[in-house]
Structure 1
Amino acid sequence: MLGGVIAHAQDTKAASNAEITAAEAWAFPVYPPLSELQAPLPHPQERVHVTGSARGYMQSQIDQSLPDWFPQDHPPAPTIVAEGRKQMESCKGCHGFNGTGTPATASPAGLPKAYILEQFAAFRAGQRGANTPRSSQDMRKEARAVGDDDLRLAADYFSKMKYQSHVQVIETATTPKMHWKFLMQVPDKGSAREPIGQRIIETPVSFADYRYGSDRTTYIAYVPPGSIARGAAISAKGTGAAAACESCHGATLHGVGVIPPLAGRSPTYIMRELILFRTGKRSNPQAAPMRTEASQLGINDMIDVAAYAASRKP
C-alpha cells in the first residue's frame, strides 16, 4: 500500500498556472460583499454567547471590539494584542487572544519568536503582502504601522503560547455544497453534496462561534480520500525533485529552530502559503528554500501534505 502511495505522488508534476488559479478559488478567503456586511444583526441589547464560555456580551459591545470569551486560557495580553493602538487594529482582531487564528488568518501561537519577527520584516519590506490576497495586504499595512516595541511584545507573547489544534481532518469523496460567508466556507441550506475533487474545504462547526471570535472555535477540514497517507509519504521521503518536508520541519512536523511547526495547523492556510511560495509572492531571502520546494509540487501534492500536516498532533 505504501509503495503505491509513493508511486502516486511521484507521478505528479509541478502545478500549472491553471491549476494554481483553480486552487486559489477555494484556498484564498473571499471578502464579504457590502450587502453581507449590512445584513441585520441581533438587537444591540441582545446578549450573545459562544460554546463553552460562561460569559455573555451584548451585540453593541461586540460591535466595538471582539470580547475575551476565555480569559482563563491565556496570560495577560499586551495592549497591542488586546486593544491595538491609534489607527492600528489589535492582534486579537484577526488572530485571537490565543493566537489560534482562523483558516483565513495565520496562527502565530507557538511560532518561534525569531520567525514571527522575520515575517514582520518581510511584510514591511514588501516581500510579503504585495499583490497577494487581501488578508496578506492587511497584514502588510499592520506591519508597517506597528512600533518596534509593540512588535517585540506581541512576538514574545504569541511565541510563548502553546498552540492547540482546533481542526478535525476528514477524508471524503464528497462534501456539502458550500458558499462564502465572512471569509469562511459554510454549508448551503439542505443536504446537497458535491465531489470534493482537488480541494480542501474547511468550515467551522459553529458559525456563531467563529463569527463572534471564540478562540475555541472548532473546524472540520474535508480532504480527498487517501490524502493523509500520501501526504505522510511525501513528508517522510519527498516526491520527485521535492525534498521531504521532515528534512526541514522535523520528523514530527513540530518545527526545528526558526523553521515553523506545521502539525495540527489549518490545512487551508498551509495550502494558501504553498501557493504563495509557488507564485513567488513570498520573496524574502529566507523563503527561498520553500519557493524551490513548492515549484516541484503538484496541486495534489500540496493538498496531500497540507492534509497530513493538519492531521498531526501539535
Structure 2
Amino acid sequence: MNFRWSVVAACALAAAALAAPTAHAMDAAQLATQGNGKGAPPCLGCHGADGGGQAAAGFPRLAGLDASYLRRQLDSFADGTRDNPVMKPVATALTTDERQALAGYYSRLPLPAALARPATQPPAPDSRGALLATRGRWSRQVPACEQCHGPGGVGVGAAFPPLAGQSAAYIAAQLRAWQRGSRRNDPLALMQHISAALDDQDITEVAGWFAAQPLGQPKATP
C-alpha cells in the first residue's frame, strides 16, 4: 500500500476512535440509567438523571466531581471505611472496572443548571456558619473550612470535594458520620478531628452556609 495512503488511513481510523464513545463510557451510562443487573440499581434513582442529587432526601450531586474522589468513595463504601446502609450493597455489587467507569462518567457530567444558583440566601458574614467556614475556630484547633475546600467551598483536587452545590442535609449528615466514626476515609483523619470539635448547631449552620454558596461551571478538577 502506498505509504501516503497508509498514513491517511491510520489518521482516519484514529479520528474515528476518538469520536466514538469508549466501551467504558457506554457501560457507565448504562449502569447509571439501568444498573448492572447483579445487585447494583440505577444510580439515577437517587442521584438524578443529571447527577444533581436530591437535596430533600440528602442524596448528593455527583455531576462534575473529581473522578478519583468518586472512585475512592465507591471503594470506601465497599470496604466499610464509609459505612452507609444504602451505598454499601450498591458498591459491593459493582466490579472495580464498573466503579472506575461510573466515577469517570459522573466527573464528566456538566453541573446541572439548577445548582448554579443556590436556592437559599447566604447567611450573614458574621453568622456562626460563615465564621467557621471562612475563619475557623482556632481555640478548638478547627481551621477554616475554606483552607482545604477552597473559597466558597468550590473544592480542591481529589482529596477535598466541593461543598458548594451540595445540600445542607447532605453536608450535615457527613459531618455527623465523621463524628460517630461511621465515615473514616478522610486524609490523616482530618475531618474526624474537626467534626469532633463541632456541636450540633455548628454543624447545622456551617452546612447551611456552604449550601447557600454559588457554584459556577466546575473546572476539569473541581
TM-score range, shorter chain: 0.7 to 0.9
Question: Normalization by structure 2: what TM-score?
Answer: 0.74
8 A contact 1:227–1:307 mirrored in 2: no
Code of the residue aligned with 2:97 in structure 1: it is D
Q: Which of 102, 107, 110 is the equivalent residue of 1:154?
A: 102
Q: Does 1:245 align with 2:145?
A: yes
8 A contact 1:111–1:261 mirrored in 2: yes
User: What number of residue pairs does the alignment pair up?
Assistant: 181
Which ranges of 4 or more aligned residues in structure 1 deviate by more than 6 Å?
Answer: none
1:185-264 aligned within 5 A: 229-239=127-137, 240-241=139-140, 242-258=142-158, 259-264=160-165
Separation in 1, partners of 2:188, 2:213: 24
8 A contact 1:227–1:303 mirrored in 2: no
Separation in 1, partners of 2:171, 2:63: 15
User: What are the superposed Cα offsets for residues 193-221 of structure 1, whole Å, 9 maximum, x if unpaired?
Assistant: xxxxxxxxxxxxxxxxxxxxxxxxxxxxx
Separation in 2, partners of 1:90, 1:263: 25
In structure 2, the residue matched to 1:43 is none
Flag the structure with higher strand content: 1
In structure 2, the residue matched to 1:284 is 185
Separation in 2, partners of 1:227, 1:307: 13
In structure 2, the residue matched to 1:111 is 65
Q: Which of 53, 64, 78 is the equivalent residue of 1:101?
A: 53
Structure 1 counterpart SS, 2:120 = strand
Shift of 1:286: 2.9
Shift of 1:168: 1.5
Q: Which of 92, 104, 122 is the equivalent residue of 2:44?
A: 92
8 A contact 2:61–2:165 mirrored in 1: no
Pick closer, same or farther for the CA change 1:150–1:228 going to 2, 3 Å. farther
In structure 1, the residue matched to 2:22 is none
Q: Structure 1: any 5+ residue segments left out of the alignment? A: 1-74, 130-135, 172-224
Separation in 1, partners of 2:68, 2:188: 14
Q: Which of 81, 97, 100 is the equivalent residue of 1:127?
A: 81
Structure 2 counterpart SS, 1:302 = helix
Structure 1, 159-168 or 258-267: larger mean CA deviation: 159-168
Structure 2 counterpart SS, 1:169 = coil
Shift of 1:160: 1.5
Shift of 1:170: 5.5
Pick closer, same or farther for the CA change 1:256–1:313 going to 2, 3 Å. same
In structure 1, the residue matched to 2:93 is 145
Separation in 2, partners of 1:138, 1:227: 36
Pick closer, same or farther for the CA change 1:287–1:83 going to 2, 3 Å. farther
Shift of 1:155: 0.7
Q: Does 1:271 align with 2:169?
A: no
Pick closer, same or farther for the CA change 1:93–1:247 going to 2, 3 Å. same
Flag the structure with higher helix content: 2
Q: Does 1:297 align with 2:198?
A: yes
Q: Structure 2: any 5+ residue segments left out of the alignment? A: 1-24, 216-222
Shift of 1:237: 0.7
Shift of 1:148: 2.0
Shift of 1:285: 5.2
Separation in 2, partners of 1:95, 1:109: 9
User: What are the superposed Cα offsets for residues 236-269 of structure 1, whole Å, 9 maximum, x if unpaired?
Assistant: 1102321100110012310111110011310011
Percent of counterpart pairs with the same letter?
32
Q: Does 1:80 align with 2:31?
A: yes
Separation in 1, partners of 2:175, 2:126: 17
8 A contact 1:255–1:261 mirrored in 2: yes
